[in-house]
């Protein structure tokens, strides 16, 4: 199937590893030009090198801290100047710190607001003027199954990711007339460093190994396993493509059936 992604320019945030990296890899497979961004210079350069070697094409990397609106603005100015205007924005971020209501500080709340919600709003604001002129654009936010079913001990994720899908739905209503779609992907348990970090915390609490905790997570899901980053990236790539042109304002789970509700 031709996804008609050849020649488009995508910006994927938080892409040095995990879901962001897999997305960059899959989009490059489809001929998309990609700019990848992350806060860690060594990691993002290593990721860019890996992608370049694999696809034998240039990939552009930018160091940007998604916890800082100034860093986002300056990085985006650089992207625009050096690589051009963005057709596809994949808003990803590092996971906010785990914790329940009693354990979180004011600083945790303020940081998670910028990291999860405000950064995605700012990036949408930066890419939209050109998408409107071109009358084509894709904005895809990576959220979590926590937007449909809150996860214990992930108070910040449960709160701000739900805010993000509210924003995305409202924005999709406003920009549909420009042929711009805005959608959210909600991963379930996905084997990346984020999952290993969460599994470690739970394993320590239970006095079991991290491997056993990951196995337990997998067994709790109807498909009886945790997912892989490329299984999330497949949906993101489809949503970025021409074939998803009539899907907007949607939140689609890739969770092995973990969410218990019918919608
Ligand atoms: P990951 O840990 O593999 O990758 C996180 C990426 O975020 C890295 O590239 C890292 O450099 C980048 N990053 C972290 N802080 C940053 C910052 N301040 N500025 C810029 N970049 C930053 O994580 P992942 O599993 O790929 O998760 C991606 C997103 O999906 C996260 O928000 C995570 O919470 C969410 N999610 C993951 C799972 C899962 O099971 N893995 C499930 C649901 C939701």
The CA distance from 130 to 76, in Å, is: 13
The CA distance from 24 to 73, in Å, is: 21
Query: Which residue has the CA at smallest separation from atom 44 of ligand 1?
Result: 144
Burial class of residue 129, CB neighbours in 10 A (0-12, 13-18, 19+): exposed
> What SS3 state is found at 11?
strand
Gap from CA of 116 to ligand 1 centroid (Å): 10
Query: Which residue has the CA at smallest separation from atom 39 of ligand 1?
Result: 190
Domain over 9-188+228-254 is classified CATH 3.40.50.720: yes
pLDDT for 263: 77
Q: What share of the chain is helix, strand, coil (3-state, %, to 5)?
A: 55, 15, 30
Beta bridge partners of 169: none
Q: Which helix (H) or strand (E) holds 9?
A: strand 9-13
User: Domain residue spans in the chain?
Assistant: 9-188+228-254, 191-226
pLDDT for 1: 87
What is the DSSP secondary-structure string of 132-197?
A: HHHT-EEEEEE--GGGTSPPTTBHHHHHHHHHHHHHHHHHHHHHGGGTEEEEEEEE-SB-SHHHHH
pLDDT for 121: 98
Quick one: tokens of 168? 């995305």
Task: Name residues contacting ligand 1 (CB within 6 A).
Answer: 14-20, 38-40, 43, 64-67, 92-95, 142, 144, 187, 189-190, 192-195
Mutate to test the pocket of ligand 1, among 19, 22, 122 (most ligand atoms within 8 A of CB): 19
pLDDT for 226: 98
Q: Which atom of ligand 1 is nearest to the CA of 229?
A: 26
Over its length of 263 residues, how does the chain's per-residue pLDDT go in tens digits? 899 999 999 999 999 999 999 999 999 999 999 999 999 999 999 999 999 999 999 999 999 999 999 999 999 999 999 999 999 999 999 999 999 999 999 999 999 999 999 999 999 999 999 999 999 999 999 999 999 999 999 999 999 999 999 999 999 999 999 999 999 999 999 999 999 998 999 999 999 999 999 999 999 999 999 999 999 999 999 999 999 999 999 999 999 999 999 87
């Amino acid at each position: 199937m031709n996804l008609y992604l050849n020649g488009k320019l995508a910006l994927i945030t938080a892409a040095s590893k995990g879901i962001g990296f897999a997305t960059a890899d899959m989009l490059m497979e489809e001929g998309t030009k990609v700019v990848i961004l992350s806060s860690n210079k060594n990691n993002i350069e290593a990721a860019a090198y890996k992608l370049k070697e694999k696809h034998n094409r240039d990939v552009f990397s930018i160091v940007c801290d998604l916890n800082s609106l100034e860093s986002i603005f300056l990085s985006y100015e650089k992207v625009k100047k050096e690589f051009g205007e963005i057709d596809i924005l994949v808003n990803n971020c590092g996971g906010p710190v785990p914790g329940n209501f009693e354990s979180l500080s004011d600083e945790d709340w303020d940081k998670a607001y910028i990291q999860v919600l405000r950064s995605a709003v700012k990036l949408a604001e930066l890419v939209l003027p050109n998408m409107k002129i071109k009358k084509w654009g894709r904005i895809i936010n990576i959220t979590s199954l926590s937007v449909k079913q809150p996860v214990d001990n992930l108070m910040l994720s449960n709160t701000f990711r739900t805010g993000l899908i509210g924003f995305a739905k409202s924005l999709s209503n406003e920009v549909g007339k420009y042929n711009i779609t805005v959608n959210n992907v909600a991963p379930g348990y996905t084997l990346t460093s984020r999952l290993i970090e969460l599994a470690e915390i739970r394993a320590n609490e239970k006095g079991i190994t991290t491997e056993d905790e990951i196995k337990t997570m997998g067994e709790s899901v109807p498909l009886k396993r945790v997912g892989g980053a490329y299984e999330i990236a497949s949906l993101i790539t489809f949503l970025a493509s021409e074939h998803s042109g009539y899907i907007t304002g949607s939140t689609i789970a890739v969770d092995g059936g973990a969410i218990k509700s019918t919608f």
